[in-house]
């Protein structure tokens, strides 16, 4: 009997719910916008789980009423003569209805703002903290008198401190607009653009006390903004410097060991970037996996190309630096034209994986883009790996021996020719890794390497030929210097100033920041 009673009561409960929903929707079909505003507030406070869908449909002009039956429907697509609709109460698909049989519930700008704020208040009841934070941030500058009281209730019940802070700032902006002097203290120190806009408006207030307090708060915020802009410039400079380190570190190894000025080093960077693009073409729809596999692939492709250049050109020109420079310059032109002929002269775009997209927000005035952060970390990992190779392996020991005194190394049984091949392959492979990283920051094209070859030589000379630590310090330093000078002097003049600085520095320290050690270097 109990079960039968419960089953009998279920339709009644459903009907009661539908009746309540019907009354709420009917209250929206009012004769004045003021009455519609009251109806919207009733829907917000009703606790009905369908409230958000109704308010979204009303905001989008898709909540309509059938002229004959009075049934409320939601239009799915308002194109053509007949529109597909669903029942607003049950969500049941009702097929298509002629647009002439429907009356749209119209709203004005005031109601549109009220609806946007109401939807944000409903979002504040979401289970996820990130959704509530996003909703609270969206309310900044959009709170009016009708939302002030509901927000006060939400703030008292909210557990997350960040959500409470954002909501308190949203309320403070509303109170500041009403001339409340105490609201300035609540907004002081915030870097949010809407807070700054509200304080800027208040600084022009006719109330001298309010204007003075807002002006003082704006001055403090501007100091914080300058600090954050400086940190952002430093971050972009370090990310640019990490690219220079990757581009120059392989050149530093080959230049230090073999004394070869390899003008084709930029094209080895280009080959690494094109390898990344080719891997994504072979693995469509999987940019993340293709990116990971491009790291060893880019290293191998550039290393094999480096071995071919060393065996085919450089080994015949040892001891003749001018001829080597001209020959490798010719190789660079050949590689560029080969890429133009085989692939295309047009730039190619490499898809950034999802886990490298977006940014990390430190605060409302500073965010760090993930792709640059990954490139910076990648450069440090490559540097650490090279240091291990040079300090902990037999190849590294032989490379250091040949770098310091080639003749003595030969007399000790070290095969200098083999060391040259392996060193050139290692340096070329690292150039390929630089191309893999660059593919995430810029378009891939035949002239990609030309943009970094001069900067790479400057890094090598500034840091000290053949010294990895010097290359790291010089690359990061020049990246930061470039980033600081560019907004002030422009890109071209910044390059010129950096070049002049390096020339003056070399006049004082001809062997760079970290000169080589050994008899050959001292001689």
Q: What pLDDT is stored for residue 30 in this prediction?
A: 81
Query: Same structural domain for residues 57 and 170?
Result: no
Domain span at residue 193 reads 124-219
Residue 116 lies in a domain: no
Q: What pLDDT is stored for residue 99 in this prediction?
A: 83
* E strand or H helix that includes residue 173: helix 161-177
Q: Compute CA 225 distance to the chain's CA centroid, rounded to the nearest angstrom.
A: 20
Q: Measuring CA to CA, how many Å separate 134 from each of 11, 138, 297, 357?
A: 38, 6, 41, 19
Query: Same structural domain for residues 211 and 247?
Result: no
Instruction: Record the pTM.
Output: 0.72
Last residue of a domain, one of 219, 243, 273: 219
Q: What pLDDT is stored for residue 497 in this prediction?
A: 84
Query: Same structural domain for residues 343 and 470?
Result: yes
Residue 2 lies in a domain: no
Query: Same structural domain for residues 505 and 423?
Result: yes
Task: With both helix axes pointing from N to C terminus, report the angle between 265-282 and 416-438 in degrees, rounded to the nearest 10.
Answer: 60
Q: What pLDDT is stored for residue 185 in this prediction?
A: 86
Q: Which residue stretches of the chain have pLDDT < 50?
A: 1-17, 519-523
Q: What pLDDT is stored for residue 8 in this prediction?
A: 41
Last residue of a domain, one of 219, 240, 263: 219
Query: Same structural domain for residues 300 and 440?
Result: yes
Q: How many domains does the chain have?
A: 3
Q: What pLDDT is stored for residue 9 in this prediction?
A: 40
Residue 16 lies in a domain: no
Which residues in 181-201 are b (16+ Cβ under 10 Å) and which e?
Answer: bebbebbbebebebbbebbee
Last residue of a domain, one of 199, 219, 239: 219
Residue 425 lies in a domain: yes
Q: What pLDDT is stored for residue 14 in this prediction?
A: 40
- Three-state DSSP at 33 gives helix
Longest dimension (CA), the chain: 107
Q: What pLDDT is stored for residue 516 in this prediction?
A: 61
Query: Same structural domain for residues 362 and 396?
Result: yes
User: What 3 state SS string does 338-361 have?
Assistant: HHHHHCCCCCECCCCCHHHCCEEE
Backbone angles phi, psi at 110, to 5 degrees: -65, -45
pLDDT in tens, 71-105: 899 988 877 788 898 998 888 888 888 888 888 88
Residue 10 lies in a domain: no
Query: Same structural domain for residues 315 and 463?
Result: yes
Q: What pLDDT is stored for residue 10 in this prediction?
A: 39
Q: What pLDDT is stored for residue 284 in this prediction?
A: 85
| E-assigned strand segments in 298-436 | 359-363, 366-369
Query: Same structural domain for residues 197 and 255?
Result: no
Query: Same structural domain for residues 166 and 238?
Result: no
Strand order through the sheet with 82-87: 93-98, 82-87, 72-75, 63-66, 102-104
Q: What pLDDT is stored for residue 4 in this prediction?
A: 38
Output the domain CATH number for residue 297: 1.10.3470
Cα-Cα-Cα-Cα dihedral sign, residues 344, 310, 261, 247: positive
Query: Same structural domain for residues 51 and 155?
Result: no
Residue 384 lies in a domain: yes
Q: What pLDDT is stored for residue 401 in this prediction?
A: 80
Query: Same structural domain for residues 294 and 254?
Result: yes
Name which of 496, 489, 480 is nearest 233 in CA terms.
Answer: 480
CA–CA separation, 240 and 486 (whole Å)? 12
Q: Name the token pair of 413.
A: 């049984």
Query: Same structural domain for residues 92 and 235?
Result: no
Q: What pLDDT is stored for residue 53 in this prediction?
A: 85
């Amino acid at each position: 009997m109990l079960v039968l009673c419960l089953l009998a009561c279920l339709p009644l409960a459903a009907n009661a719910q539908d009746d309540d929903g019907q009354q709420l929707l009917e209250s929206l079909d009012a004769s004045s916008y003021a009455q519609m505003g009251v109806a919207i507030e009733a829907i917000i406070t009703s606790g009905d789980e369908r409230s958000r869908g109704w308010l979204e449909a009303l905001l989008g002009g898709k909540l309509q009423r059938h002229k004959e039956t009075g049934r409320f429907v939601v239009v799915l697509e308002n194109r053509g003569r007949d529109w597909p609709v669903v029942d607003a109460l049950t969500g049941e698909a009702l097929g298509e209805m002629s647009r002439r049989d429907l009356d749209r519930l119209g709203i004005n700008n005031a109601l549109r703002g009220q609806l946007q704020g109401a939807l944000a208040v409903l979002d504040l009841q979401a289970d996820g903290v990130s959704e509530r934070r996003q909703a609270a941030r969206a309310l900044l500058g959009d709170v009016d008198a009708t939302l002030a009281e509901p927000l006060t209730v939400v703030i008292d019940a909210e557990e997350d401190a960040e959500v409470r802070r954002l909501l308190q700032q949203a309320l403070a902006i509303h109170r500041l607009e009403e001339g409340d002097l105490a609201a300035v203290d609540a907004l002081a120190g915030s870097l949010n653009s809407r807070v700054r806009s509200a304080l800027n408006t208040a600084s022009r207030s006719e109330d001298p006390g309010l204007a003075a307090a807002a002006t003082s708060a704006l001055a403090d915020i501007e100091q914080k903004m300058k600090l954050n802009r400086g940190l952002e410039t430093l971050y972009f400079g370090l990310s640019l410097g990490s690219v220079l380190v990757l581009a120059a570190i392989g050149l530093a190894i080959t230049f230090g060991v073999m004394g070869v000025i390899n003008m084709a080093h930029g094209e080895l960077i280009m080959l690494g970037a094109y390898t990344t693009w080719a891997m994504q073409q072979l693995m469509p729809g999987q940019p993340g996996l293709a990116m990971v596999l491009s790291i060893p692939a880019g290293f191998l492709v550039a290393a094999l190309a480096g071995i071919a250049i060393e065996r085919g050109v450089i080994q015949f020109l040892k001891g003749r630096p001018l001829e080597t420079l001209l020959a490798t310059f010719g190789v660079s032109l050949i590689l560029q034209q080969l890429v133009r002929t085989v692939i295309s002269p047009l730039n190619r775009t490499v898809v950034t994986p999802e886990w490298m997209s977006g940014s990390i927000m430190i605060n409302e005035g500073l965010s760090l883009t993930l792709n640059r952060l990954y490139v910076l970390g990648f450069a440090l990992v490559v540097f650490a790996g090279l240091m291990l190779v040079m300090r902990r392996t037999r190849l590294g020991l032989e490379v250091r021996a040949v770098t310091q005194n080639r003749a003595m190394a030969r007399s000790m049984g070290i095969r200098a020719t083999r060391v040259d091949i392996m060193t050139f392959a290692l340096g070329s492979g690292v150039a390929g890794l630089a191309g893999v990283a660059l593919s995430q920051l810029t378009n891939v094209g035949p002239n990609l390497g030309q943009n970094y070859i001069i900067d790479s030589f400057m890094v090598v000379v500034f840091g000290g030929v053949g010294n990895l630590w010097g290359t790291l310090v010089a690359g990061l330093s020049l990246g930061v210097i470039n980033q600081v000078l560019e907004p002030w002097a422009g890109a071209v003049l910044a390059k010129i100033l950096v070049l002049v600085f390096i020339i003056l520095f070399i006049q004082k320290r001809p062997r760079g920041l970290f000169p080589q050690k050994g008899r050959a270097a001292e001689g």
